[in-house]
Structure 1
Amino acid sequence: MTVNETASTTYQKGTTSSSASALTTGEPVLVLGTTSGTTITATQVVVQPAAGEGSATSSAADVVPFQRGAPSTPKQLGQVPANYTEGSGSVVDGTAADNATKAALAAYPGGVVDRVVQLSSGEYEVHYIGVNWPHHIFVDQDFHVMGAE
């Protein structure tokens, strides 16, 4: 991926505003913005929390790296919203989607979020690809990870 920054790109480290110069090479980051092919024009760059920081209740050890042609065994961790049905809800964007994405990636680093869906209960399903598990990460209205499947 190539990341292009603009004069309006913002940076955040933890809960503090930061600058590009505060980033260290090799630090995991979440880049939010618009894509074109393999290029992201960044609107926001967020340094991912170190293990044990934030509201994440899971760890990278729970993520199963993607291996083409090697499906993983389905499993569930934590709480899945009552009456959840895959494909239900409305795709959201903006601040809510950004916050749900940040929470999901803090709990399960290593994959890619391709959409965030708000469920009828007000909770969010973060659709996660690029890993064999999890595929759905559930985030409550306060942007805390509840569970995954």
Structure 2
Amino acid sequence: MNDYEPAHRPPAGSSPVAGPDRASRSRRSRWGKRGTWIAAAGLTVAMVGLAGAGTASAAELSPAASTPVGGGPAAPPSDGGTTGIIDSKSASSFTLATATGVEVTVNEDSATTYRLGILPAPANVVRTGESVLVLGLVDSATITASQVTVQPFGDGGAAAAQKAGVIAFQQGVPSPTQSVGQIPTDYTEGDGTIVSGAVADKATTASQAVVPGGVVDRVVLLSDGEYEVHNISINWPHHVFVSKDFKVLGYE
């Protein structure tokens, strides 16, 4: 049983989320016109518009992301990740905006590896304006990257988020009660065991291919061997269910 279940919505007074405009205005990569992001994992869903405008950090959108519902110990950083467009770069870090405008800081170190599509690449492949998938240790609005994948012709997940109907955070607007695909009938929020490493990376990658826009702050192994991938900093969906072979089954 996992005791770490953060609140999804911030207290009154925190900044409203950024919407999809940031991602939709993402700069063209050096490969030319932006194209389709990595293929979604086979779910057919209704197209729903993304909400919000501007940008905000994950901490602003979900300041209680490390605090479990009902109190208790703070959740430790866990493996996860996000997708977005790089909007600034320094020697050892960069910031990106997700498809819903969440601003995330990504720290790089000597252990960070880089890929250009499916191929290994040098660190200088990471440039302002590129679409990237970042995997690593997530602490609210900060990710210590274990791997950064530059997505040629990517759009930061904007098209996939729109197709999935991802809803950006809106101050004072509750998360809707809705689901898509297969949801475990016996799932209770907070169940499972947090996983890390390659398993968490595969589940995060699968989830971000279908429902990008938020930040995956942990991956949980369920009792049936499937995974729940947990999203913060968006209004919906918060839980993405991934099969044993890392295919997205559904989300709510």
Output the amino acid matched with 1:63. Answer: V
- Residue from 52, 55, 60 that aligns with 2:161: 60
**Secondary structure at 2:228's aligned position in 1?**
strand
> In terms of Rg, which structure is larger?
2
Q: Please show how residues 1-149 of structure 1 align to structure 2 within 5 Å.
A: 1-34=104-137, 39-47=142-150, 50=154, 59-61=160-162, 62-149=165-252
Larger CA deviation: 113-122 vs 19-28: 19-28
Answer 1 or 2: higher relative contact order, Cα 8 Å, separation at least 6: 2
CA distance in 2, matches of 1:26, 1:92: 31
- Does the C-alpha gap of structure 1 residues 14 and 141 become closer, same or farther in structure 2, counting only changes over 3 Å? farther
Structure 1 residue 39: Cα displacement: 4.8
**Secondary structure at 1:138's aligned position in 2?**
strand
**Secondary structure at 1:59's aligned position in 2?**
helix
Structure 2-normalised TM-score? 0.51
Aligned partners of 1:48 and 1:106 also within 8 Å: no
Identity %: 55
User: CA RMSD of the aligned region, Å?
Assistant: 2.6
Structure 1-normalised TM-score? 0.81
Output the amino acid matched with 1:114. Answer: D
**Secondary structure at 2:230's aligned position in 1?**
strand
**Secondary structure at 1:45's aligned position in 2?**
strand
**Secondary structure at 2:183's aligned position in 1?**
coil
Unpaired segments ≥5 residues, structure 1 = 52-57
Aligned to 2:81: none
Q: Which has the higher strand share?
A: 1
Structure 1 residue 48: Cα displacement: 5.0
Output the amino acid matched with 1:26. Answer: G
- Does the C-alpha gap of structure 1 residues 148 and 36 become closer, same or farther in structure 2, counting only changes over 3 Å? closer
Count of aligned pairs: 144
